[in-house]
Structure formats: structure tokens, C-alpha cells
Structure 1
Amino acid sequence: AVGTDGGGSVRIPAGYCNLVGLFPSIGRVPQRGTSSGRAQNSQREFARLRKIAKRSEQNGLDFASQFFDSFRFRIFFGLRIRTCSAAGPMAHTPQDCARLYAVMAGTDYQVGSEQSRIQPEVTIPKTLLKSLVGLKVGIDQSWNQAGVPDALFNPFQKRLNWMIDQGAEIVHFIMPEKDVVYAAHLMCFSNEIASDVIRYQQQGKQVDYDVEMISNIQAQTVRATDYFIANKIRTKFMRIMDDLFSKMDIIATPMSKSTMVEIGAGDHLYGRSDANTVGKISYFTRIFNFVGCPGIMVQLGHDKNDVPFGFHMAAKWWNEEKLFEIAAFMESEAPYKKPVHLHTPPFKTA
């Protein structure tokens, strides 16, 4: 599947559904083709994605065209949130996720995808790692543990210990100014939703009620100077992240501060907006959306109700290949194993 991730909307569902989900670097995947999610307004997007499905046959996804045409290969559309969100792949395994990413990513010179024009070559792993020797894993212990249920934190810590056994080195650090970054992300995220809502409505397209409500609140409470200040904060924090990634290869965090949220009565009919729960679920992922660094969610275990949850890793800009390498090694060697029917042949061993 393909989705848009503006705070964790690909990675978090992947974690809850025994899947692998990637948020690519901002600008890595063209934004042209993302829309408000109304199929009747997305004919050009569907035509473009059919072409993508055909191209995927050259990248090892022989079933893509068949799945797309039969609607078993489902494509999910989200609002185009220009600076915090990117379209990313979700699949059963890191291998399939990497192959779909290779199809999606790359330069697009069409209007609407200007961010994709300056980027290095798109690469995915060709071999499977034999160990994690030399890998530096950044950990902010106080951030990772604060408010995280034991059901999520303890398996996360065990996986870190396993990574150490495989040769990885833990680099401790403190993620600075988190509360400021969370506020700035919300400012940018909601402001860009509001601008897209206006654009879609001017084109006669429909948007969901919740999104329209956010847009109206944003228009009444936020000024252009607030958005400008939020982006100054982003610039500062990108420099901080650049410095952090000069000392470590990846940053590892738990999936979220919440296990799976129960579906309430009527939710399947009307949906539900719960800002507090959304904040807990996206507590770790949205910081990386804000600065545009890629992140991946891989499976870690199941809670007491046998609901899956994941392990989140982020890397420096354009370093998706590193995340896929580590994710594939984890799935091939880590103690937790998926059901056999969810496995596909791994990358070849070097």
C-alpha cells in the first residue's frame, strides 16, 4: 500500500498491523498525484499510478499491475502537506517495502513535485547484512522511557540489547527542545492542511469534515508570522539533527506512547478525532517529519491482547537504504518472527 505520512500515518498503522512502513526523506518521493482521497476526483492520479504499477514489474513486483487493476493492491491518498509529509510505502516485509520505494522515489520534473528535483541516486540494498558491527544507534533514554507503557518499552529495550549483541554501539544523547518542535510541527502541519483545503475546494473537490474543521480553526487562530516562526525553528532543528547524525547512524525509539487504541461504538460509522491520543501515538515519529528525515517501522512484538507493535528507526536525509538494510537484518535474525506466510525471499547474503 501507499500512504502519506505527515506525523506517522504510514509508520504507525504499519506498526499496529504487523507490517513495515517507511517515511522517506522530504523530497525523495514526488508529491504529484497525492490528493484529498476522493476517488471521483483522482482520475489522473489513478492513471499515473497504473504506470507506476507497470514500472514496478522491472523492480521485482511482478504482481503489482494485477493487484492494482483488481483493487487488491490498494492505494490510499492523503492531503498533500508540502513540508511535513511524504508518500511512503507499506508492505509485509522490508524487501517488498524497499522495492515499492524504489518505484516511487526519484526526480519528477512536473509541476507539483519541485521538491524532488535535487536528490542523490535512489538505491536499495542488494545483499543482507551479516551483523550490525560498526552501527551506531542513537538513544535518548529519558525521551524513550517517559510515559511509554512497559508493554512497549520493555520489548524495545530487549531489542536494543539484541542489537548490541549483534555488534551495534549505543550512543547516548539528549533530544533538545522537543516541546518547541512539537508545537512548530503542529503549526506547519495544520497550516498546510488549511491551504490545501482551500485549493481543493476552489477546484470543486470534497474534503472530510474533520479536515475542513481543522482548516477553519487554523484560519481563525494562526497568523502568517506564526508559520514563518515555525519554519525558523525547523531550520534550527535541522542543524541540530545534522550534528546528531554526524555522531550516529540511526536514532531508535519505541513506536509510540500508546498501545493500540480501542475502537469505540460508532467509530466505524463516524470516525473519531482525539488530539490527545494522536499526540501519544505520534510522539516519536512526528519530530522526524518536521525535519524531513526518513524513518522506518519494523515489527517488534505483540501486546497482551495479541495486537502487534513496532520498533522505529530514523536516519539522516537520503539514507533510506541504511534503514532497509537494518530492517531486513532484524526480520531475518531477531528473536521475533512473523508468521511464515508473511515472509518473502530475503535480500541475498553477501
Structure 2
Amino acid sequence: MFAEYSRYDATELAALIARGEVSAGEVLEAALARAAQVNPALAAICLPMEAIARERARGPLAGPFAGVPFLLKDMGQDFAGVPSPSGSRALRDWMPDRHAYIVQRFLDAGLVVFGKTASPEFALKAETSPRLWPQPTRNPWDLARTPGGSSGGTAAAVAAGIVPAAGASDGGGSIRIPAAYCGLFGLRPSRGRVPCGPADGEHWEGASSQHVISRSVRDSARLLDAIAGPGHGAPFAIAPPAQAYAEAIARPPRRLRIGFSTRSPLGTPVHPGCVAAVQRAAALLAELGHVVEPAEPAVDGRALARSFITMYFGQVAAGMARARALTGAGEDAFELETRVLGLLGRTISAGEYVSRHAQWNDYTLALADFHRQYDLYLTPTTAQPPNRIGEIDTPPGQRALARVVLALGAGRLLLATGMVDELVETSLARVPFTQLSNLTGTPSMSVPLHWAAVEEGGPELPFGVQFVAPFGDEATLLQLAAELELAAPWQARRPPAR
């Protein structure tokens, strides 16, 4: 059945089920069969929920995606009564007693959840290799490489054909980076478009948004229709779209003015394949009648990275404290790198944290100025192709030094030595383009438009391009994505059979 199942996106699977051509149970079994076939090699699904899914598939289902198999991300997408470890050994056995708002909306849409996908510990890396699970998550395009992070398990599962779409979230690029690495479509909604409660009013100071990674644009549009809108107790209500996103993509966008850049905001190298992806996108956009020219917002990329990393340190410290409060976990329950980041988060003063957060307004104003002249901003999604598993692991010498620093509690020493600036560059050099959208709260997307081999004799790998829109304008992004999908289809491009 899989060969037939894999041809359809979630929208068409729902239509087949609604017409009675196939049952929800049959479609679920096809998804489970595919998972059994490929997940042992990929390690995309970390927490199976087969019994829950089979029971749900037997019952009456309603909603636009009634009966469609689905996976949740193991971070921020809590399912009541199912462990929600967020990639951490400290939360291995912690189970929420209520669904996250987004999970309830997925269920209300009729989706049949049959598992959770792997995420790095607390969603902290652009690689999905948490120590919690016995093996790292692998990229279906090349099993030696990462699918990215933090929604790496989601991207691997969708790219491998286990599901047509799955839950994801993005606090620094965690939807767009895995989508780019795995040849998929990934839209990060505006701040507040999708609720993140009830555990949080906002996550990561409002920098993180939840949605999905998908193979088709229409699935992302229709799923956004299903989950958008403020949750109970939301800190603010974003203006609703003028019309449903599924209706908006039925017509092409207006003639757009698009500024593009391939320069890393950090001044670090950008791989030729990433540059070529933008050049290809720019040429295609021009053919479609859009105005495309070099331009970029007047943002200090290094200052923005420092603002992001300061928030990141603070969030790690807070996340560790929350985990300890929930489970009583000791320090050894957290990964070494997480413990160092948490130490830095506890060391940075509240005054510096607030000052760095205040700078987010500078980036928001600069991007708003840019959008006075350009409808969209185009860049590579990432600066490098997906790294090989283990390639960016902390070297043994640095791990030994980290243990000494932790034993001494020498966070201030690390800050005084300039280690933070080095960490900014080493951690973000591969992915320097995505954080602008997070700190400004704007919607953005990664679109798969280019494939190329990155080494002689190696497989072709996907390269994504990123578009950033003004706050609240997911509709223009989705309209353009649908136009690009029609002009340069990517759904038929699948990873090598596994």
C-alpha cells in the first residue's frame, strides 16, 4: 500500500478518506508500515503512540484532516498522558496531564497522532543527536548527514514518506533549517499566530512559533488555517488574515518587489550551493514577473547574533530549572553542552539580558524600513549543507575544559575571555540567516528549489531558500510558495529508496 500512500499529501489523503475510498485505519496502517521500514535507520520517531492512534482511527473523526496520520514534535507539543522529554534525560519520564493548545487543534482538525519526533535537548541545536536516544536522527537524502534541528525528527519523517506533514516549531530556524536540509517546505508563522499555551503565554520571549513541516504548500496553508488564532490567556491577539490561507493560495501573488542577499550576516563563509540556490530562485522569480534585486536590511548581524545567544543562554538556564523542579533531576541528567550554556545563562546579569532584549526593537525597525521598499527578503536558508553526523561534536579537549569550568562554576571567567563571541560564531556560522525572523517576530519560509552534490561522487542534496515577510503577512509567503511550487515542483523529488 505504501507506494500508493506516498503519492498523496495530507489534503488528498483526507479527501480519499472522506469519499470512503479508503478508511482512516487503512491509511494509518500504511503509515505505520512505512515507519517500521525506515525508522530504524532514521531514528525520526522517538516515542511511538500506535495504540492511541489505532483506537482513535476506529472512532468517528471530524475536521478538515479527518483520518490523516500525523506526528508531533517532542518539544512544546504535549500530548496528555504521553512522555514529553524535550530530548532530555532529565524529563525522560515526565508526562503532561493536558494537551498543548496546538495539539488539541491538530486533534480537532481530525489528525491521527501515532508518535512524537526526535528533537535535540531543549531544541538547542541545528542537529538532532540527543543523548536521550540510542542513535542520532539521520537525513533520508544521505544517512551520514543530519536532517538539521531542532525539528530534525519531523523533517526526516516527512522526507522519508512516513507522513506528508508533521508538527514542528521554530525559535531560531528550527522549522526552516530542517526543511532546507530535507527538501521540504517549512513556514514559520508570525509571533502569536499560533498559540503555545497552556504551559507558556509565549515561548522564548515570543521568538518561537509552532506549525508544521510539509511536502506541499497547500498542506501548510490548510493546517495553518486549522491551528491559527490566539489561545486562552494569550498575551495579545494578532489580527486574523483577510481570508483563509487555503483560499489565498488559489490565486498567484501580486507582482512582488524582492530584495536578496547571499552574504552571511556574520561575515562567515557561505557554501556555493547555498549561493546557487538563491541565484536560481532570483532567476525564477524574475521569469514569473517579480522584481528582484540585491538588497538587505540595515541590521548589525553580529549584534543580532549576540542578542539571540543571550536569550538562548537564559532560556537554557530556565529550562534546566524547570526540569529540575518537575522531576528532581540532578546535573548529570543534562548533556554537558547544555550544562555549560545553563551556567552562562545563570551568570549573565538581568541588566545585560534586558539590554540585549531591548535591541530586538532595533532589528524590528530596520526590517520594517526594508519592507517599505521590498515586499520580501530572500536569502539562503542556511550557509552550509547539512553536516555529517558527529562533524560538529564538541572536541574532547573542549569537553574536558567544560567539565573543569562547571566544577569551578567559572561562568564569569568564560564571559571575560571572549568565549561567548567565539560561541556565537561557531554555533551560528552554519545557520546565520534565520534568527532575524525570530527576533523580529516576522513570518518566514524555506522553499526547496535547488539540489546539488556537495562532494564528488556524493548524492545530490537539497538547498532551501528563505523568504521573510512583514509581520502578519503569511498570506503573501504562501501565495508565492504555491506559485514557485507550480513553476518548479519539488514533491516528486524524493530521497533514495530506503
TM-score band, normalised by the shorter chain? 0.7 to 0.9
Supply the distance in 1 between the matched residues of 2:373 and 2:224 (Cα, whole angstroms): 27
Which residue pairs with 1:288 in the alignment?
437
Structure 2 SS opposite 1:303: strand
Q: 2:240 aligns with which of 104, 111, 121?
A: 121
Tell me the TM-score normalized by structure 2: 0.53
Structure 2 SS opposite 1:245: helix
Q: Which amino acid aligns with 1:20?
A: F
Shift of 1:20: 0.9
Which residue pairs with 1:324 in the alignment?
478
Supply the distance in 1 between the matched residues of 2:207 and 2:442 (Cα, whole angstroms): 10
After superposition, what is the alpha-carbon deviation per residue over 1:233-252, rounded to whole angstroms, capped at 9, x for unaligned? Answer: 11122111112112111101
Tell me the TM-score normalized by structure 1: 0.74
- Identity among equivalent pairs (%): 22
Q: Which has the higher contact order (CA 8 A, sep 6+)?
A: 1
**Which structure 2 segments of 5+ residues have no match?**
1-165, 394-398, 400-422, 454-458
After superposition, what is the alpha-carbon deviation per residue over 1:263-284, rounded to whole angstroms, capped at 9, x for unaligned? Answer: 13998xxxx9x97564133211
Shift of 1:104: 2.1
Q: What does 1:334-345 align with in structure 2 at a 5 Å threshold?
A: 334=488, 337-339=490-492
Q: 1:10 aligns with which of 175, 192, 201?
A: 175
**Aligned residues of 1:25 and 1:294 also touching (Cα < 8 A):** yes
Which residue pairs with 1:156 in the alignment?
278
Which residue pairs with 2:346 in the alignment?
219
Supply the distance in 2 between the matched residues of 1:15 and 1:266 (Cα, whole angstroms): 18
Shift of 1:127: 5.1
Which residue pairs with 1:99 in the alignment?
222
Go from structure 1 to structure 2 and tell me whether the alpha carbon gap of 1:82 and 1:233 turns closer, same or farther (over 3 Å shift): closer
Supply the distance in 2 between the matched residues of 1:150 and 1:105 (Cα, whole angstroms): 37
Which residue pairs with 1:204 in the alignment?
327
CA RMSD in angstroms, aligned pairs only: 3.0
**Aligned residues of 1:84 and 1:188 also touching (Cα < 8 A):** no
Instruction: Tell me, yes or no, if structure 1 residue 88 matches structure 2 residue 214.
Output: no
Which residue pairs with 1:76 in the alignment?
none
Q: Which amino acid aligns with 1:188?
A: M
Go from structure 1 to structure 2 and tell me whether the alpha carbon gap of 1:266 and 1:331 turns closer, same or farther (over 3 Å shift): closer
Go from structure 1 to structure 2 and tell me whether the alpha carbon gap of 1:127 and 1:185 turns closer, same or farther (over 3 Å shift): closer
Go from structure 1 to structure 2 and tell me whether the alpha carbon gap of 1:301 and 1:338 turns closer, same or farther (over 3 Å shift): farther
Which residue pairs with 2:96 in the alignment?
none
Supply the distance in 2 between the matched residues of 1:190 and 1:84 (Cα, whole angstroms): 14
**Which structure 1 segments of 5+ residues have no match?**
36-78, 343-350
Shift of 1:10: 1.1
Shift of 1:109: 1.9
Q: What does 1:1-350 align with in structure 2 at a 5 Å threshold?
A: 1-32=166-197, 80-110=203-233, 113-114=234-235, 117-122=236-241, 123-126=244-247, 128=249, 134-140=255-261, 142-143=263-264, 147-176=269-298, 177-204=300-327, 208-209=334-335, 210-220=337-347, 222-264=348-390, 278-304=427-453, 305-334=459-488, 337-339=490-492
Q: Which amino acid aligns with 2:325?
A: Q
Moved more, 205-214 or 187-196: 205-214
Structure 2 SS opposite 1:307: strand
Go from structure 1 to structure 2 and tell me whether the alpha carbon gap of 1:88 and 1:202 turns closer, same or farther (over 3 Å shift): same
Supply the distance in 2 between the matched residues of 1:301 and 1:263 (Cα, whole angstroms): 22
Go from structure 1 to structure 2 and tell me whether the alpha carbon gap of 1:231 and 1:82 turns closer, same or farther (over 3 Å shift): closer
**Aligned residues of 1:140 and 1:173 also touching (Cα < 8 A):** yes
Supply the distance in 1 between the matched residues of 2:334 and 2:196 (Cα, whole angstroms): 20
**Aligned residues of 2:375 and 2:469 also touching (Cα < 8 A):** yes
After superposition, what is the alpha-carbon deviation per residue over 1:71-129, rounded to whole angstroms, capped at 9, x for unaligned? Answer: xxxxxxxx94233212121111111111222222211123xx42xx3211143141546
Structure 1 SS opposite 2:449: strand
Supply the distance in 2 between the matched residues of 1:250 and 1:265 (Cα, whole angstroms): 34
Based on CA coordinates, which of the two structures has the bigger radius of gyration?
Answer: 2
Shift of 1:175: 2.9
Which residue pairs with 1:62 in the alignment?
none
Supply the distance in 2 between the matched residues of 1:159 and 1:195 (Cα, whole angstroms): 40
